[in-house]
Amino acid sequence: MTVIETPDHAEDDVDAAALTVLPDVEFDTAPDRYRHFKLDIDGEVATLTLTVDEDGGLVPGYQLKMNSYDLGVDIELYDAVQRLRFEHPRVRAVVLTGGLERMFCAGANIRMLAQSSHAWKVNFCKFTNETRNGIEDATANSGQTWIAALNGTAAGGGYEIALACEQIVLIDDGSSTVSLPELPLLGVLPGTGGLTRVVDKRLVRKDRADLFATRPEGYRGATAVQWGLVDATVPRNSFAQDIARRAHEAAAASPRTGTQGVELAPLDRRETDAEISYPYVIARLNRSARRAEITVQGPAARPPADAAGVLALGVGYWPMAVTRALDDLILRLRTNETELGTWVLRTEGDTDLVLAYDAQLRELGDDWFVNEMVHFYKRTLKRLDVTSRSLIAVIEPGSCFAGLLLELALACDRQYMLDGVYEDVDPAAEPATIVLTESNDGPYPMGNGLARLQSRFWGRDELSSEAMAKAGQRLGAQACDAAGLVTAALDDIDFEDELRIVLEERASLSPDALTGMEANHRFVGPETMETKIFGRLTAWQNWIFIRPNASGPGGALRRFGTGQRGDYDYRRV
């Protein structure tokens, strides 16, 4: 269940009576159910128009005025990004624009933020960031160039949506601007990547970026173009024609192929209070132990013979079905089950069948649908990487951690492998093995640009190379331990007790400290725009969200719209 606060109570002094319990968040939607977006397809160009329903907030207590958004709006945007990639292979350019006069988007709804719990704000920003990254990934890897057609002012999160697009065109009407007013007006940061994308993506000079982020009214016209905040400003009477030209030019240059799309049919998800299950993925919720036990099942049959067979299966193709289920499960557990702080990941199935699909994804990589699936799985693994939960992999007889499924184990904070079999259960079982393949050497990079194996052995390239030299081999527990591929390899006598102690210890530690530690350890090595957004920027934003200057009774976030300035403690920390 989801808990929010009433606007009258500060986050650092919440009265229990002020908490409102809401139904769990659902991430399922479709274009015919959108309340805030309209999707139009015209040949190679799609137009996504944001016209927010003011009374369509996901939770009560605020109106979504001036095309401001909340999590419900972002859920629709994420759905649209996914459908454009899978259902519309003919679309090669996407125009994102606003449906209100002189207003593209006013950003995240302030009253929603002011009344929300800290956890809600953090999950909202994280999901929003991931959706922005998905837009950029579509441009980079799907041949779908996104163009922000700013028909009016783009403020805060509204400008951040535009920053995710490859091109930004601002209407020149004498009043419309782009701005990031969070710092001067709200005492917080543009937390969905604004600061980072301005300097790292738009390459705005850092002193100008400082001016921009502290000037609430923002910039327009020639200054916005000169500084690199937008690519062009165009008069109203030629705005539509200019956007159409840009879209058709981008479409003509696109390498995207494919004619028949794959419908993203509703997920086959079944839920009880103790379990969430899909074909191939099951999560058992152990509330007393504060953990989720997640099992990913391997395929039941060999893959189809060719790309046509893969396309015919569509969402029923095993890698696609697993990825959709994992993506949905991660979102649901992350948002609705905040007390389940430890996720234990297992696999079960036939390793040979997993390897057959793993090889097919590489062999058919030039096919548009297979390419989309590979990048979808990459994004889902990245979603797991940035999830603030302790991740523990358990490798035991019957596991099928091979190739693409081995990435799940490598994404975990620890890996425990049984050396041998459970003598009291099935002494005739085959001992567990893992299999490295080319899929563990780059196709599914983390946000730092490294393969998970490279991240595991950061600074010790020889160990990563030695491990990959064993690709294709069935590696037992002792071999995995010697190669550094597991945290511990234990025999039947010690395994269950050791795992129990590990899980109980993890559940006893501070969730806040664990979140900080895990995020630090997971992203070793080079810093990228993505790791800055999810690491540096998010960490500071999360801290600022709970400070009195932003969220206290007199904080700027809570006083916004009252005519009163924030009551600040001016001591620097």
pLDDT at 91: 98
Q: Say yes or no to pLDDT of 557 above 50.
A: yes
pLDDT at 540: 85
Rounded to whole angstroms, the Cα distance separating 533 from 555 reads: 24
- Pick from 123-127, 498-502, 538-542: least confident: 538-542
pLDDT at 20: 52
Q: Say yes or no to pLDDT of 21 above 80.
A: no
Q: What would the mean pLDDT of 311-340 be, rounded to a whole number?
A: 97
* CATH of the structural domain 270-509, one choice from 2.60.40.10, 3.50.50.60, 3.30.1330.120, 3.90.226.10: 3.90.226.10
Residue (of 262, 264, 245) closest to 253 by Cα position: 245
Q: What would the mean pLDDT of 170-177 be, rounded to a whole number?
A: 96
**DSSP tag of 532:** I
More confident residue, 496 or 2: 496
CB 430 within 8 A of CB 397: yes
Find all residues with CB under 8 Å of 99, minimum gap 6, and list them: 38, 49, 50, 51, 67
Joined together, the tokens standing for residue 432 give 């567990």
Q: What would the mean pLDDT of 490-511 be, rounded to a whole number?
A: 95
In this prediction, residue 19 has a pLDDT band, given cuts at 50, 70 and 90, of very low
pLDDT at 389: 97
Q: Say yes or no to pLDDT of 7 above 70.
A: no
pLDDT at 22: 64
Task: Tell me the pLDDT tens digit for each residue of 77-130.
Answer: 999 999 999 999 999 999 999 999 999 999 999 999 989 998 899 899 999 999
pLDDT at 23: 73
Task: Tell me the pLDDT tens digit for each residue of 199-226.
Answer: 999 999 999 999 999 999 999 999 999 9
Decide if 22-252+531-559 and 270-509 have a common fold.
yes
Task: Tell me the pLDDT tens digit for each residue of 369-404.
Answer: 999 999 999 999 999 999 999 999 999 999 999 999
**pTM of the model as a whole:** 0.94
- Pick from 6-15, 30-39, 175-184, 450-459: least confident: 6-15
Rounded to whole angstroms, the Cα distance separating 363 from 248 reads: 32
Could you give the angle at the alpha carbon of 100 between the alpha carbons of 99 and 104, nearest 5°? 80
Helix or strand holding residue 304 (H, E): none
pLDDT at 573: 80
Rounded to whole angstroms, the Cα distance separating 315 from 266 reads: 10
Q: Which long-range contacts (CB under 8 A, 24 or more apart) does 506-510 make?
A: 506/341, 506/342, 506/390, 506/392, 507/289, 507/290, 507/291, 507/341, 507/342
* CATH of the structural domain 22-252+531-559, one choice from 3.40.50.150, 3.40.50.920, 3.90.226.10, 2.40.10.10: 3.90.226.10
Q: What would the mean pLDDT of 225-237 be, rounded to a whole number?
A: 98
Rounded to whole angstroms, the Cα distance separating 556 from 488 reads: 49
Question: How does the average pLDDT of the chain come out, rounded?
Answer: 94
Q: Say yes or no to pLDDT of 341 above 70.
A: yes
Residue (of 304, 408, 403, 428) closest to 352 by Cα position: 403
Find all residues with CB under 8 Å of 168, minimum gap 6, and list them: 147, 148, 150, 162, 178, 229, 230, 231
High-pLDDT (> 90) share of the chain, %: 87
Task: Tell me the pLDDT tens digit for each residue of 163-172.
Answer: 999 999 999 9
Q: What would the mean pLDDT of 489-507 be, rounded to a whole number?
A: 95
In this prediction, residue 561 has a pLDDT band, given cuts at 50, 70 and 90, of confident
CB 275 within 8 A of CB 323: no
- The rounded radius of gyration (Å) of the Cα atoms in the chain is 24
In this prediction, residue 2 has a pLDDT band, given cuts at 50, 70 and 90, of low
pLDDT at 17: 33
Task: Tell me the pLDDT tens digit for each residue of 441-471.
Answer: 999 999 999 999 999 999 999 999 999 999 9
Domain ranges of the chain: 22-252+531-559, 270-509
- Pick from 132-136, 241-245, 425-429: least confident: 425-429
Q: Say yes or no to pLDDT of 196 above 70.
A: yes
Q: What would the mean pLDDT of 335-358 be, rounded to a whole number?
A: 97
